[in-house]
Structure 1
Amino acid sequence: MVWRTGIFSAMTKEHREQLMALAHEVSFATGDRIFDEGATADRFWIIHTGTVSLDLRVPGRQPAVIESLGAGKLLGWSWLVPPYVWHLGAEAASPVRAYEFDAAAVRALCAEDPRLDHELCTYVSGVLARRLRAARVRLLDLYAPYGAGEVP
């Protein structure tokens, strides 16, 4: 079940319930563009089913797929960091069902509850670090003279 994975497993039951009170379910068809790099990051999602591809624009080339996200994964972190602009793009790689959250409402909830804010910021910073590493490794694999492989 999605409650035992990803962000939900990192939160207390009370905070999970507070967050989910702000959620509504959405769906995306295969190929739907969920957000584009450089656009305003005013929401985020927790994937319930399906797969989303994260991509990065590369000048003069097709966007490079950096990572694929599945059930329980957080889609979007840019909503938490000013200036609230997407740093990557996202596209549904299969039919997707997700919980969508309004970023301003979640930030307001965090402002009222410092413990929730800490839980969420700690989790999102871990996601950010993993995605930055994935982007680095993927771009080196694609464009470095001899590929990069996984850096030990």
Structure 2
Amino acid sequence: MAMVTGELAREPFLSGMRGTDLSRLAPAARPAGFPPGRRLATEPEPAELFWLIRDGTIDLDSRLPDGGSVAIDTLGPGSVVGWSWMFPPYRWRFGAVASTPVEAIEFDGRLVRTLCAVDPSLGHELTRRFAEVMAHRLQTARTRLLEPSSGFVPSKGRPEPRSTDA
């Protein structure tokens, strides 16, 4: 069941987007719900979806070399989850799991990629919005990794890598 353009216009991530862009996105969107513990994304599986959280929380995590994972962030209502569907090789770069019951709008990323290819202005607008989210999440992850309680110990005295084209 596709979403109505007016419903999409009320979502913070899409706020201020042109009505024509929302109309193009509406067929790619549908309501979705997830129980606590449901994994929405697993590194490095194929990424074909993204979600706008309406209610509930989703934890982002990242795999560790030992097979475990580390929490990166917790996202709540008004947040967008998933950008890996936008960039080749279209594989999840982080994991995501519902930490509470979640109500969301789920988007078919493959269809959205096609819509963006047909309408470059829509593609530019979505890329701009996702880039802002990515920059914020990168800063959040950096801050979390540098917290004393994280267990992460930055290296000291290690020389910077040298450029081979100097």
TM-score, normalization by structure 1: 0.87
Instruction: Specify the alignment match of 1:26 in structure 2.
Output: 32
Render the CA deviation track for 1:95-150: whole Å, top value 9, x for unaligned.
0011111111001111111111111000011111111111122122213349xxxx
Higher RCO (C-alpha 8 Å, min separation 6): 1
**Identity percentage of aligned residues:** 41
Which of 131, 137, 142 matches 1:131?
Answer: 137
Q: Is the 8 A contact 1:47 1:71 kept in 2?
A: yes
User: Any idea what SS the aligned residue of 1:24 has?
Assistant: strand
Gaps of 5+ in 2: 1-6, 155-166
Distance (Å, rounded) in 2 between the aligned partners of 1:13 and 1:109? 15
Letter in 1 for 2:128: T
Query: Is residue 45 from structure 1 mapped to residue 51 from structure 2 by the alignment?
Result: yes
Instruction: Specify the alignment match of 2:89 in structure 1.
Output: 83
Measured on the aligned residues, the alpha-carbon RMSD in Å equals 2.0
Which of 61, 79, 101 matches 2:107?
Answer: 101
Render the CA deviation track for 1:50-109: whole Å, top value 9, x for unaligned.
110001112337421111111121110000011111111000011001111111100111
Q: Is the 8 A contact 1:37 1:87 kept in 2?
A: yes
The count of aligned residue pairs is: 146
Distance (Å, rounded) in 2 between the aligned partners of 1:96 and 1:13? 27
Which of 48, 66, 69 matches 1:63?
Answer: 69
User: Any idea what SS the aligned residue of 1:87 has?
Assistant: coil
Larger radius of gyration, structure 1 or 2?
2
Which of 123, 126, 144 matches 2:152?
Answer: 144
User: Any idea what SS the aligned residue of 1:27 has?
Assistant: strand
Distance verdict in 2 for CA 1:3–1:51, change over 3 Å: farther
Letter in 2 for 1:139: L
TM-score, normalization by structure 2: 0.80
Q: Is the 8 A contact 2:13 2:80 kept in 1?
A: yes
Query: Is residue 110 from structure 1 mapped to residue 116 from structure 2 by the alignment?
Result: yes
Letter in 1 for 2:40: I
Distance (Å, rounded) in 2 between the aligned partners of 1:103 and 1:2? 16
Letter in 1 for 2:143: V
